[in-house]
Amino acid sequence: MPISRQPLAEPPSGESTITRHLPAGGGVRAHRHDVHQIVYAGRGVLSVTTDAGSWVAPATRALWIPAGTVHEHRAHGRTVLHAVGIPADTNPLGLDRPAVLAVAPLLRELIIAYSRPGAEHTDEGLRIRAVLLDQLRHTPRQALHLPMPRDPRLAAVCDLLRADPADSRTLAEFGAGVGAGARTLTRLFGAELGMTFPQWRTQLRLHHALCLLAEDVPVTTVAHRCGWASASAFIDVFRRAFGDTPGAHRAAG
């Protein structure tokens, strides 16, 4: 069963600091802001897609979106989106591309408090933002980016895996179907995506797993749909990537 999809909503006109409830499978159409944004899902899982790839964030992560970046939001599970706008001349992370950030309890509460309607225009809101920016300067980044290729042969392989993350064919077997040898595809994975084929496939499977868990799919079923040989193997990889088990993550959502 595919992950549910709903029509994407229009972006809020002129607003970069908001709290918004998104239905499972819903989201916000591609748009851009003149300011940087921190985007956080207080509930559910949120993915952001740009022409450079996609980033996914459960409730223990937030997304940094630099000013001017055209991006699309997608909600997995019923999602509460908290977005915080930061002036373009203030960049506490020093990043010019999207990134996934670890969210400690204090940062979580600051994001939620500052994104309340009207909070950013109050004296209290300015104080909250000052602390929030200070916390961001010390926030570690997480390697949860799924880059997208440009080469049509590599793109064809990636599209096949995105359609079925459980596809267990080797790179040579994929290559036979797209007209490229394993050596060529290996080189393209490193040159265009900055990772090996197994690393990219694992990253894709983790992204897909987060989305399925947000839709309340059982852990064993998630493991099967994402291509792990057993639930225990999936749990081990998931724990190393996110710091907790899929079951704990699913319950928290």
CA R_g for the chain:
19
Q: Let me know whether 172 and 69 are in one domain.
A: no
Q: Let me know whether 137 and 155 are in one domain.
A: no
Model-level pTM? 0.80
Q: Let me know whether 23 and 137 are in one domain.
A: yes
Tell which residue, 41, 42, 35, has the closest CA to residue 63.
41
Spell out where 8-132 has E strands.
18-22, 27-31, 36-50, 53-57, 61-65, 71-86, 99-102
Question: If pLDDT is split at 50, 70 and 90, which confidence band does 218 have?
Answer: very high
The whole domain housing 242 covers 148-252
Is 6 a member of any domain?
no
Of the residues 93, 111, 142, the one at which a domain ends: 142
Residues 6+ away with beta carbon under 8 Å from 179: 153
Segment 104-113, tens digit of pLDDT:
899 999 999 9
Asked whether residue 7 carries a pLDDT value surpassing 80, the answer given is no
Is 8 a member of any domain?
no
Asked whether residue 116 carries a pLDDT value surpassing 70, the answer given is yes
Is 9 a member of any domain?
no
Q: Let me know whether 195 and 241 are in one domain.
A: yes
Q: Which pLDDT value is given to residue 2?
A: 45
Is 7 a member of any domain?
no
Of the residues 109, 142, 175, the one at which a domain ends: 142
What's 244's domain CATH number?
1.10.10.60
Asked whether residue 214 carries a pLDDT value surpassing 50, the answer given is yes
Share of the chain above pLDDT 90, in %: 55
Q: Let me know whether 152 and 138 are in one domain.
A: no
Q: Let me know whether 131 and 190 are in one domain.
A: no
Of the residues 127, 142, 157, the one at which a domain ends: 142
Asked whether residue 249 carries a pLDDT value surpassing 70, the answer given is no
Residues 6+ away with beta carbon under 8 Å from 183: none
Residues 225-229: what's their mean pLDDT?
A: 95
Q: Let me know whether 23 and 52 are in one domain.
A: yes
